[in-house]
Amino acid sequence: MGTDLHDQRYRAVEARDPRFDGVFYTAVRTTGIYCRPSCPARTPRTENVQFYASAAAAQDAGFRACRRCRPDTTPGSPEWDVRADVVGRAMRLIRDGVIERQGVDGLAEHLGYSSRHVGRMLTDELGAGPLAIARSARAQTARILIETTSLPLADVAFAAGFASVRQFNDSVRQAYDLTPSELRRRGAGAQQAVAAGPLSIRLAVRQPFASEPLLQFLADHVVPGIEAVDGRTFARTLRLPHGHGVMALTLLDSHVECRLELDDLRDVATAVGRARRLLDLDADPMAVDDVLAADPLLAGSVLREPGLRVPGSVDPFETAVRTVVGQQVSVAGAQTVTGRLVAAVGERVSGALAEQHGLTHVFPSPEAVAAADDEAFSMPKARARAVRGIAGAVADGSLDLSAGADRAETRAQLLALPGIGPWTADYVLMRGLGDPDVLLSTDLVLRRVLEAHGVDARRSASWAPWRSYAGLHLWRTVTNPEPAPERTTP
C-alpha cells in the first residue's frame, strides 16, 4: 500500500469516521486484532497499523475481530455494488452463497474464468482468495446463530455452511479468539433465544438512512400473498436455494430488525444478503449525497431526504416479471394481475411468520411461469408472451439474472426478448441487479423533469456513478414535492 493511501486511511481512523466502516479494516500488529475505522478504542500508532480491504484478508493474516467495535458486523462495502468488473461480480455472488452451494469451481463458471484466475484476481485486490472470503462470511453467520438462537452448536455449524464441527470450531476461534461456547455465553440476549420459531437479526445500516420513503415504496407496490406491510414492518416470502422462507423487516432510523423463518437454516446467510439488497443497506449514502448535492437541481431533495435508498430486489426474475406486468397499467392494476399469477402457479407457504402477516405463496419459479396455462396470465397476449419469454430464457440459461451477472450482457439479453424495451431492461438492472448508475431517461416523469430543466447528457454524467439515486430524487420532487411556504397576511 502506498504511503499516501496509508496516511489517508490513518486520518480516517484518527477521526473515527464511520463513513469508512466496511470500506477497509484496521489491523493492529501489537494487539493482533482488527477493527472498523470508527472503533472507539485508543488510536494505535501509525507504524503499528496495517490496512486490509476485507475482513477475510485481516483474518487470513492472523488478526482477530475486535470485541468492542465488532468489525465483522459492519455493512458490506458499497464498492461491490458499483463495480461491474469480475471482482465486483464475484463478491456479489459470494454474498449470495454461491461458494457454499457450488464451490469455487461454480463461482468461476458463473464468471466465465478459470478457478485459478478468479482466485488470483480476488487475492490481488482483497488480500484473500474466494475460500477465505467465504470462510469469513460463514464465521459471521455462525456468530449470528450462536448469539441469537439456542440451536445446538453442531446444528449451527452445518447451518452456517461448515463441512464439519471441527472446521466450525477452528474458524470461530480464529475469527473471534473465542470458542463457540464462549461466544454463546457472552451473546447479548442469548438467554432469551429459542431454537424454534423465527430468528431475530439486527442489520447494520450506514447513516443517514431515509427509511420512510423506502418503506412507502414497498407498501405502495405490495403484491397480495407474497408481501405485506404492517406499520414499519415489511414482510415477504422468499424462494431460497434449500427451500422457502419468510422475512419480516422492521425499518428503524438506526438499523433494521430482521426476523427470519426458514425451511432450512443453511439459507440464513443468503436470506440476510437478499434482505440487505432489497433495502440497499450496503449503500454509501454520504458518498452518494456528496455527488448529487453538488447539482442545484438535486441539492434541495438531497437536503430534505438524505440517505435515500434505491429499492432493490430479493429475486431479479420476480422483478423482471413484475416490471413487464406493470407496463402501461396502474400500480394497483399490476398488483392485482401479479397476485393472480402468484395464486395460480406459486407454491404455498406456511409457518407462524407467514400466518402473522397473511402470506400464502412464494413467487413462482421461472420453470413454473414458462409452463403455466394461458388462464394464469390475466393480461394482454403480447405482455403474456413477454413474461413467458423472460421465464423461458431464465430457465434455459440464455438470460442471466443472477447476483453476479454481467450487467451489460444482461441488458443485451433482455433487449433481445420480445416485448422488452430500454426502459424495462434498465429498470430490471437498477432494481433487480442493484446497478447504482442507471438513469431511466426514457421514463415519462423523468423525461419531463430533465427537459424542463434543460438537463443534457453531459450534466447527468456528472451524477455518475449514482444516477439511479439521482433519478429517484427527481421522481421524489414530482411525487413528494416540497410543501409551499405558508403565506402570511400583513
Query: Which position among 17, 263, 400, 443 bears the catalytic label?
Result: 443
What's the grid cell of residue 271?
436470506
Q: Rounded distance, CA 389 to CA 359, Å?
A: 28
- Cα–Cα distances in Å, from 136 out to 128, 256, 473? 10, 22, 36
Coil, strand or helix at 259: strand
> Residue 69 catalytic?
no
Q: In DSSP terms, which residues pair with 240 in a beta bridge?
A: 243
Note the residue count of the chain. 490
Q: Rounded distance, CA 163 to CA 372, Å?
A: 39
What's the grid cell of residue 109?
463458471
Answer for the pair 382, 393: CB distance below 8 angstroms, yes or no.
no
Query: Which position among 35, 39, 66, 69 bears the catalytic label?
Result: 35
User: Quick one: DSSP state of residue 24?
Assistant: B
b/e per residue, 117-149, with b = 16+ CB within 10 A?
ebbebbbebbbbbbbbbbbbbbbbbbbbbbbbb
Across the beta sheet with 233-240, what order do the strands follow?
Answer: 199-203, 256-262, 243-251, 233-240, 227-230
> Residue 21 catalytic?
no
Coil, strand or helix at 431: helix
Residue 59 belongs to what H/E stretch? helix 55-60
Answer for the pair 448, 181: CB distance below 8 angstroms, yes or no.
no
Residue found by looking up cell 430524487 in the block:
473
Q: Alpha helix locations (H) across 221-351?
A: 268-279, 285-292, 296-304, 316-325, 331-345
- Cα–Cα distances in Å, from 103 out to 26, 100, 107, 108, 161? 29, 6, 6, 9, 11
Q: Rounded distance, CA 383 to CA 157, Å?
A: 46
Answer for the pair 327, 380: CB distance below 8 angstroms, yes or no.
no
**What residues are annotated to the active site?**
35, 443
